[in-house]
A and B are shown apart, each in its own frame.
Chain A
Amino acid sequence: MTPSPPCRADGPPAPLPVPADRPSGSSPRSLGAWLALNLLVLVVYSVLGVVIVLFGIGPAKISPIYPPSGIAFAATAILGWRVLPAVFLGQFLNGFPLLQVPGTTLSMYTLANIGTGIGGILEASLAAVALWRVAGTSYPFERPRQVVIFLLASALGPAIVGGTIGTLSMWACGFVPAKEFWATLAFFIFSDASGIAVFGALVLAWHREPRADAKLVGVSLGAIAGIVLVGLVSAWTRHPIFFLYLPLLLWAAFGGGPRGVTVAATAITAVALVTTSYGVGSFVGRTPEESVLLLVIFISVMTFTGLVTVAVLAQRRQAELALEAYNRQLEQRVAERTAEVAEKNRQLEEKQARIDEDLRTARVLQASILPTDFSAYRDTDIAAAMRPALEMSGDFYDVFPLDGGRLGLVVADVSGKGVASAFFMAVTRTMLRNAAQGGLAPADCIVRVNEALCRENPVEMFVTAIYGELEQATGTMRLVNAGHCEPIVVRAGGAAELVRRAGNPPLGVLSGRKFAESAVTLGAGDTLFLYTDGVTEAADRDGEMFRVARLLEAVRPLAGRPAKELMLSVIAGVESFSAGALQADDITCLAVRRNRV
């Protein structure tokens, strides 16, 4: 198939007269070049005009095809108006057989052929304009619609105009008897139309891409050879085997495209015409007129079939190319998107890994700010543990020494879990420690922390906390419970009691509020057990909670035991209770036993 034309395929036709961008092969601007161009067209025109007369049918030498019409049309379509003088002159001169008509005067001859010459100019011009304007291309072989327009608007229509003018001129000058007028008109039109359809198409197809590759040459020569063979056989045997031209035509169409099929159509026309002119073959009728009619019909059908076939093939090929391009585009897009997604995934994984690493570091950091070594406290036996439910915990405990042998004890629970709670916890812990070590009483420490948390609390968090101050020498303890779980005092004698809350709200909820203190005294061997609700609200598989009652039962048998033993025993009890269920909340415990002195 031929690639799209470089200058114009579709779209609006160029303004007339034909602009220089039309592929004319040369740009004959000078007079000499113009003369040469016209001479060339004139020679081709005249030679074909003479040759066709040699193969005229019957005594009147009528022909089903007039090749010069095709040459005139193609030359005008390709080269523009400047070749019209050659068209006129060619038509004028081609009328020379009229001179042989008895009684013809030179003036009659001249007059008649001026008429046919004008008809020829009009025909070629109309055909070219119809091609550009109606078919919208100078290569009408890429869509079946273009083929139909070409055959109707460029071949048949202009032939009617040219044929009518020509016949009228000849009739007016006495060359056509009145009784032959209609027959002459019809054959004039037929032969001009088939001339344009066959030879015009041949020139247009080859003009676009004159260089033929080996395949095209092979197909063209093969088709010509086959066509000649069919012609000879039909002439020899007189069998009507003209249908054998069809496979050869289609072969040329499939193998050679527009160029191959126009060569085949021209060859079929030539062979059919030559055999018929010798009175042999499939198209010989009872009269010459009948023969010509048969030939005209046959040539028209062959040309139409061949050209429509190549147009359909071209259209299909274009659709295939478009589909291929679309597929390629699609594949490329898919590949691009896949790459993008892979890259995004990689970035996400990288980010996740970074976050995980940060969380691990933060957890280590969080754990490291909680004291774990309590061996320095001689009078008090301390144990503490924190088990986060998530990576980061909102729970914390703290133990720190104060002036006068006093000890600061904290257990707290920040609302929520995770990173935000952990930050809030660190802030709270630091504030509480600073306040306590600054010498404030427990209730005042808590007030200060509460005010600070109410003031600087962008994330709507709050803390339940117990802060206690234990005087190690006497065992007296002042503590503030800000909305936290009630601590348990485990007496050395085996009793376990809750230290009732004094109605304080959690920290960070209400500002401007005073907090009430409670007082507890620990005797020798008594233990204070502080915890978070992760202990009492640990749930088993059925959703049943551990509760304070179970906790009291759990600590009673451990009265007087070391703090660590009591704490671990409680944690083990909670864990076995909630075995198989997910840990919902952080679990934090702080056990403080006053040693026997």
Chain B
Amino acid sequence: MEVFEARTGGATILRIVGRVDSSVSKLLEERVQVLIARDDHIVVDLAGMTYVSSAGLRSFIMLAKHARDRQRAVALAAMQDGVSEIFEISGLVELFVIRGTVDDAVAALPR
């Protein structure tokens, strides 16, 4: 897994590339903590995320919970089909704003 960060008007774009499983979920959670502390809205670009395990899903749930506590929105963008299915059957789609592209996701964030 690799994580890249960029900022655009009021939002942080987090690009995750590779597999997110238990071996890296801790790392992702730490990155997420730092991001949340910054009080930005967050767009996660998942175009490069090929797999997410249940431990990886936990990191996303943490992200959603922390963001909600601080009234920040989290949008997931450009999910691959397999990943999208995992989010759906896990019942996590309700936690996030989900859009097909990063631009749409940024546009969907509250101003």
Contact = CB atoms under 8 A, between A and B. Distances in A.
A501 B94 contact: no
A485 interface: yes
Contacts of A486: 89
Contacts, number: 68
Given A464-B54, A503-B89, A585-B55, A539 B95 contact: no
Contact of B64 (A483, A501, A504, A509): A509
B94 to A, nearest CB: 6
Nearest to A537: B22
A484 B88 CA distance: 12
B2 to A, nearest CB: 15
Contacts of B55: 533, 537, 585
B88 A503 contact: yes
Nearest to B19: A545
Contact of B21 (A484, A503, A506, A537): A537
B92 A483 contact: yes
Given A510-B95, A537-B55, A460 B90 contact: no
Interface string A493-525: 000000011111110011001000000000000
Interface residues of A, number: 27
Main DSSP-derived SS at the B contact region: helix
Interface residues of B, number: 22
A460 B66 contact: yes
Contacts of A509: 61, 64-65, 95
Nearest to B90: A483
A217 interface: no
B61 A482 contact: no
A220 B97 CA distance: 104
Given A537-B22, A539-B23, A585-B22, A460 B65 contact: yes
A505 B95 contact: yes
Interface string B83-102: 00000111111110000000
A486 B91 CA distance: 13
A543 B69 CA distance: 34
Contact of A415 (B21, B23, B61, B90): B61
B53 interface: yes
A539 B55 CA distance: 13
A483 B91 contact: yes
A533 B23 CA distance: 13
A350 B23 CA distance: 35
Interface in B1-58: 21-23, 53-55, 57-58
B54 A537 contact: yes
Contacts of A460: 62, 65-66, 69
A462 B61 CA distance: 9
B97 to A, nearest CB: 14
Given A485-B54, A539-B22, A513 B94 contact: yes
A178 interface: no
A460 B92 CA distance: 16
Contacts of A513: 94
B95 A500 contact: no
Contacts of A510: 94-95
A584 interface: yes
15 contacts: A415-B61, A460-B66, A482-B91, A483-B57, A500-B89, A501-B89, A501-B91, A502-B89, A505-B61, A506-B90, A533-B22, A533-B54, A533-B55, A536-B53, A537-B22
